Chains A and B, each alone.
Chain A
Amino acid sequence: MFTSVDDVSARLAETGYLASPAVATTVFLAGRLGKPLLVEGPAGVGKTELAKAVAQMAGARLVRLQCYEGVDESRALYEWNHAKQLLRISAGRDESWDETRTDIFSEEFLLPRPLLTAIRGDEPTVLLIDETDKADIEMEGLLLEVLSDFQITVPELGTVTATRRPFVVLTSNAGRELSEALRRRCLFLHIGFPEEELERRIVGLKVPGLGAALTESVVRVVGALRAMDLRKAPSVAETVDWAHTLLALGADTLDETVVRDSLGVILKHQDDIQKAAAKLDLDAL
């Protein structure tokens, strides 16, 4: 799928995703070893974006399974189209039951859900299982078969095995500890907050209108905020938002007033804002 780590890095950059060496290396390995990739990290560091970027760079179709509490087999794997089956039964009145039965459990009446779709396709596919930690434990059991053998068993049809293994990305916010069995089947990648230099490049790419000097100040302030032990440290998404805000405000340098007025863009809790204001020597809000 990929020839080298540098190749991954360069091609991800082409799609607008600047990858740290750790990300590029792990994506390369996932492609090479054919193992699913489990991505963890705080909200807003680009876990889902990574899957999208990989799909774009490989020219693959992106199939997404969004997990939530109570997501089950019929939402994740497949479902029989009952309404259509009933129509079929009532339409064919003069044929025997055996004929009807074999007919209504055929491909035509199967509604494939994301996992089956990803496994059945012939074209290259990236399967994104988003927010895996939101799904119940039972769902993890279901994923185990799919992720280790890349096959799904439909009792009426037989076992469907992937002709072409999809590139699987699972994301998790660590809202719940995923089971050891699931972790074992995956390569593990933790995306943290980026290094200063990388973040400058990200801001430069996403908000090109912002001057280099201001970009640097923005990244430095965000770096200082992250070191402060806040309830919710600002993520890359917040940095980019802040840069957009500053651009819209027409600020050309950071000063006390600008920071005080726009601190709400990067910090989402009142006590965080107060703490940061105190540490940054802003006047009382």
Chain B
Amino acid sequence: MTAVAERITGLVGALRAHGVRIGTGESVDAARAVEALGLADRERLREGLAATLLHGAGQRAVFDPVFDLYFPRGVGGPDGERAGREALRERLAEALAADDGALLARLAAEAVDGLGGYGSSPGADGWSAYQTLDRLRPQTLLARVRADVRGRDGGGEGFADRLLDDEIRRRIEAFRRMVGTEARRRVAERRGREEIARRGVVPTADRVDFLFAGRDQLAELRRAVQPLARKLATRLAARRRRAARGTVDLRRTLRSSLSTGGVPMRPVLRRRRPVRPELVLLCDVSGSVSGFSDFTMLLVQALHDQFSKIRVFAFVNRLDEVTGLLDHGRADPDGLSARIRAEATLTGWHGSSDYGVALGEFAERYGDAVGPRTTVFVLGDARTNMSDPNLAAVREVARRARRVYWLNPEPRGQWGTGDSAAPDYAGLVEMHECRTARQLGALIARLLPV
């Protein structure tokens, strides 16, 4: 096996480990693409491999960092003297003002080499992007770069000038990513790229754990709501079509058999009346699980035309209806949780979540929201802060509803540890582990009533 082929199979293996499904046929195509493109131009190689190996735009976020590890820009650190912090900042400011991509990449390499090394040996034990950026502080260059750009263009009275700050911020953001890539590359040289490809590359948004997702990842998840909803809607429609083929309707079969002399040639199937189910959502929006609840609320809202009625309730230790806040067009996904907190009464005397009180309040005040056609979803980690879980209220809701499901964003292994009342609730209603957007999508497709 040649070195290049080995590299390609390594790349494919790393991508598979991140959940990208690649068959042997695609690997062969990738090799043929490399043959056709040659190894001279790295960006072309990147595009060629992406075209042959990937099947969707979302996979690109995983592909690029893995590609950078397997087909690195270079080997070792930059030549020459290690630059000092001040000199680097000086040159970085100039490069940002000029928006020179090639120069920025070179500076990122120098910065990691000069500022990012930690450990004792002559070189360094490892390289840290965090440490590099912490020492370099590129974000503090904003004012200086702005002055530079204005000085260069002379004045700065044009309309587009007011966009300058944001543009510079985006350039700085791009530089931070370059530093991250560079640091990963250097570490991979030291520790082997398989390991870094597995651990150092952020998974795609739909595989990120809700409880540990950062702000950017949550924003990305929110953008993924609409496509996911469309996908689920198609799947639900397909399930409905299949479900519509019901049992034999004896009366109508016999009636139609009269035209064939009483021989039932063609069975007539019972037509199902398309009942559009009702949905009630109970969401814990306390700090620990709010990312999960937000996402699920938006997803259900995006699926609103699949149901005759959706009602959404939010709680921390008191419960309030927030259906109106999720209305179409009004819902600005970014500010959703802030608006829910501002406009609904969710807390009583204290600010931590209390499932017992909230569920009791639901059964008492909104009991009529649940009927024999209603499916109830409870979203939350079932951590009651040591208060009474109020199982009677859950039992009451479960008795009235058609189905009750509990989606828990914690890993199954942690249910029942500490103040979690998950096993108690799981004894009464069906509880599912739901840690990532991918799991949620699969669960919703399976559990939603047809």
* Complex contact B160–A25 (CB within 8 A): no
* Complex contact B167–A220 (CB within 8 A): yes
* Complex contact B162–A281 (CB within 8 A): yes
Quote the shortest CB–CB distance from B54 to chain A (angstroms). 5
Chain A residues with CB under 8 A of B323 = none
Q: In whole angstroms, how far apart are the Cα atoms of A26 and B227 in the complex? A: 25
**Which of A180, A224, A255 sits near B55, CB closer than 8 Å?**
A180
**Which of A30, A183, A224 sits near B166, CB closer than 8 Å?**
A224
Of all chain A residues, which has the CB nearest B162? Answer: A281
Quote the shortest CB–CB distance from A156 to chain B (angstroms). 29
Chain A residues with CB under 8 A of B223 = 229
**Which of A25, A192, A217, A281 sits near B48, CB closer than 8 Å?**
A25
Query: Taking chain B's interface residues, is the majority helix, strand, or loop, or is none over half, making it mixed?
Result: helix
Query: Does A268 touch B at the CB level, under 8 Å?
Result: no
* Complex contact A254–B158 (CB within 8 A): yes
Interfacial residues of chain A within 213-264, with CB under 8 A of chain B in the complex: 216-217, 220-221, 223-224, 227, 229, 253-256, 259
Query: Does B26 touch A at the CB level, under 8 Å?
Result: yes
Interface size for B (C-beta < 8 A) is 39
* Complex contact B56–A183 (CB within 8 A): yes
Query: Does A73 touch B at the CB level, under 8 Å?
Result: no
Interfacial residues of chain B within 215-262, with CB under 8 A of chain A in the complex: 219, 223, 227, 230-231, 234, 238
Interfacial residues of chain A within 30-81, with CB under 8 A of chain B in the complex: 30, 32-33, 35, 40-41
Max chain B CB contacts within 10 Å: which of A25, A32, A174? A25
Query: Does B134 touch A at the CB level, under 8 Å?
Result: no
Q: In whole angstroms, how far apart are the Cα atoms of A174 and B58 in the complex? A: 12
Q: In whole angstroms, how far apart are the Cα atoms of A54 and B159 in the complex? A: 38
Query: Does B60 touch A at the CB level, under 8 Å?
Result: yes
Interface size for A (C-beta < 8 A) is 42
Quote the shortest CB–CB distance from B122 to chain A (angstroms). 40
Quote the shortest CB–CB distance from A221 to chain B (angstroms). 6
**Which of A28, A174, A256 sits near B36, CB closer than 8 Å?**
A28
Max chain A CB contacts within 10 Å: which of B23, B37, B51, B52? B51
Q: In whole angstroms, how far apart are the Cα atoms of A137 and B23 in the complex? A: 22
Query: Does B57 touch A at the CB level, under 8 Å?
Result: yes
Query: Does A84 touch B at the CB level, under 8 Å?
Result: no
Q: In whole angstroms, how far apart are the Cα atoms of A227 and B329 in the complex? A: 20
Query: Does A101 touch B at the CB level, under 8 Å?
Result: no
* Complex contact B56–A29 (CB within 8 A): no
Query: Does A175 touch B at the CB level, under 8 Å?
Result: yes
Chain A residues with CB under 8 A of B334 = 229
Q: In whole angstroms, how far apart are the Cα atoms of A188 and B22 in the complex? A: 13
Interfacial residues of chain B within 110-169, with CB under 8 A of chain A in the complex: 158-160, 162-163, 166-167
Query: Does B32 touch A at the CB level, under 8 Å?
Result: yes
Chain A residues with CB under 8 A of B167 = 220, 223-224
* Complex contact B158–A217 (CB within 8 A): yes
* Complex contact B230–A175 (CB within 8 A): yes
Chain A residues with CB under 8 A of B50 = 22, 188
* Complex contact A25–B51 (CB within 8 A): yes
Chain B residues with CB under 8 A of A180 = 21, 55
Chain B residues with CB under 8 A of A255 = 159
Query: Does A143 touch B at the CB level, under 8 Å?
Result: no
Quote the shortest CB–CB distance from A101 to chain B (angstroms). 29
* Complex contact B56–A187 (CB within 8 A): no
Q: In whole angstroms, how far apart are the Cα atoms of A230 and B183 in the complex? A: 33
A176-197 near B? 1/0 per residue, CB < 8 Å: 1100100110011110100000
Quote the shortest CB–CB distance from A280 to chain B (angstroms). 7
Of all chain A residues, which has the CB nearest B228? Answer: A177
* Complex contact B160–A33 (CB within 8 A): no
* Complex contact B234–A29 (CB within 8 A): no
* Complex contact B158–A184 (CB within 8 A): no
* Complex contact B163–A224 (CB within 8 A): yes
* Complex contact A216–B160 (CB within 8 A): yes
**Which of A26, A33, A174, A216 sits near B47, CB closer than 8 Å?**
A26
* Complex contact B160–A187 (CB within 8 A): no
Query: Does B344 touch A at the CB level, under 8 Å?
Result: no
**Which of B56, B159, B329 sits near A271, CB closer than 8 Å?**
B329
Quote the shortest CB–CB distance from B377 to chain A (angstroms). 23
Query: Does A141 touch B at the CB level, under 8 Å?
Result: no
Known A-B contacts: A29-B36, A221-B160. Give 6 more (CB < 8 A).
Answer: A5-B41, A21-B47, A40-B57, A188-B55, A220-B160, A254-B160
Task: List the 3 closest A-B pairs by CB distance, nearest first.
Answer: A183-B55, A254-B159, A217-B160
